[in-house]
Amino acid sequence: MLESITENLTNAIGNITRGKLSEGNIREGMGEVRKALLEADVNYDVAKAFCDRVTEQAVGDKVLKSLKPGEQIVGIVYNELVNLMGPVDHSIAIRRGETSIIMMCGLQGAGKTTTCGKLAKMLMAEGAKPMLVAADLQRPAAIEQLKVIGEQVGVPVYWEEASSSTPVKVCQNAKKAAKQQDCNVIILDTAGRLHIDDSLMKELIQIDNKLMPNQVLLVCDAMTGQDAVNSAKAFNDALELDGVILTKLDGDTRGGAALSVKAVTGVPIKFAGMGEKLDLLEPFHPDRMAQRILG
């Protein structure tokens, strides 16, 4: 993953820092950096603002007249990459003495149902007692999939017949069931669609208003680049997200989604999906990602 952005970015930075540094060659070289970011599917405005910030710091006398200006420029790029993706608060705000509610949303295929299971597993390891809730009544297969995942993780799954219930009812009843079964967190697996549409958003807003979740998390597929970022913006406009979980970062992603989500939406990536297995969810660390990107 990320091979091409790493190669393009390090080449561009290498071209800047190799020769004698001047304001002119820094500005020229930053054009290459911007190209590398755009090729990695970083949002255009984000790439431009990033390069402007780096340039502004790099062309100052403090850097040009320093002993190792090349190293300083690499440091500036690294810091700006970290700032672009952070800061991140990984906490999931589990409340003592009451049922905490985590609402998971996302487009179909992003990895939402799988990530519900991963999150349940992670919370169990931290001592919580989660319950998964099948709030996607659009696709009967979604309920079955969640049941299988619940069994694999070893957590109860609350579900109702799709034909005789509504997503809000399922979530409300699940809250009661969680109390009875001594679970302190419910994770709502809400419906996804292939594209954002009004009916999807209305359904999610209704659940959000009635259940008042402690956290609303959006699951986004890193492989879809700017589409992931655009969908994050639309979901955040409708729901005020607390965080994004970026899936499939183990795949052949170009890195654009990871680099753009926070800047475009103001919402940090909290966790990253690193594979299909249910233990492959990691806290997202902007500093480690920046290191990885810079090779």
User: How many whole angstroms separate alpha carbon 218 and alpha carbon 151?
Assistant: 23
Any known ligand binding at 190? yes
* Sheet (strand 269-273) strand order: 157-158, 130-135, 185-190, 100-106, 215-221, 243-247, 269-273, 281-283
Which C-beta is closer to ligand GDP: that of 30 or that of 289? Answer: 289
- Does 192 bind ligand GDP (CB under 6 A)? Our answer is yes
Q: How far is the CB of 111 from ligand GDP (least distance, A)?
A: 3
Q: How far is the CB of 161 from ligand GDP (least distance, A)?
A: 20
- Does 225 bind ligand GDP (CB under 6 A)? Our answer is no
Any known ligand binding at 31? no
Q: How far is the CB of 268 from ligand GDP (least distance, A)?
A: 18
Helices 286-293 & 3-18 angle (0-180, nearest 10): 70
Which C-beta is closer to ligand GDP: that of 106 or that of 130? Answer: 106
Q: Tell me the two tokens of residue 268.
A: 């940090």
Any known ligand binding at 67? no
Kindly identify the residues of this chain, within the stretch 258-287, that bind ligand GDP according to CB under 6 A: 273-276
Q: How far is CA 87 from CA 3, 30, 90, 236, in A?
A: 24, 25, 10, 18
Q: How far is CA 106 from CA 28, 46, 247, in A?
A: 40, 23, 11
Number of residues in contact with ligand GDP, rule: CB under 6 A? 17
- SS3 for 76-89 is HHHHHHHHHHCCCC
Q: Which residue is nearest to ligand GDP (CB)?
A: 273
Any known ligand binding at 189? yes
Residues comprising the chain, all counted:
295
Any known ligand binding at 109? yes
E strands within 107-242? 130-135, 157-158, 185-190, 215-221
Which C-beta is closer to ligand GDP: that of 92 or that of 142? Answer: 142
Kindly identify the residues of this chain, within the stretch 66-125, that bind ligand GDP according to CB under 6 A: 106, 108-114
The 10 Å Cβ neighbour count of residue 280 is: 16
- Does 167 bind ligand GDP (CB under 6 A)? Our answer is no
Site string for ligand GDP, 228-257 (x = CB under 6 A): -------------------xx-xx------
Any known ligand binding at 248? yes
Which C-beta is closer to ligand GDP: that of 19 or that of 251? Answer: 251
Q: How far is the CB of 285 from ligand GDP (least distance, A)?
A: 16
Distance of alpha carbon 32 from the chain centroid: 27
Residues that bind ligand GDP (CB under 6 A): 106, 108-114, 192, 247-248, 250-251, 273-276
Annotated binding residues for GTP: 106-113, 189-193, 247-250
